[in-house]
Amino acid sequence: MLKRIFTRDRSAEPSAARADFANASPFRRQTQQDDPVRNGIFIGVAIVLLVFLGSMIAVLMMHEPAL
């Protein structure tokens, strides 16, 4: 009985093909893709927002001329 405890039994070791639940989804994994058009649109929108903010600050800084 002690011989069985101390011998290496192949059935007790974890198998090389163990369950990996990270790949268990039936859907394809979405790959990260860089879209240069989308990046350009975001940069353009950021520039427009900065110009708009600058124009609003300029309007708020205006005052009536002295007579």
Could you tell me the residue ranges of all domains in the chain? Answer: 36-62
Supply the pTM of this predicted model. Answer: 0.49
DSSP track, 36-60: HHHHHHHHHHHHHHHHHHHHHHHHH
* Alpha carbons 44 and 48: distance in angstroms, whole number: 6
Task: Per residue of the chain (67 residues), give pLDDT as tens.
Answer: 556 666 665 555 555 555 666 667 777 777 778 888 999 999 999 999 999 999 999 999 999 888 8
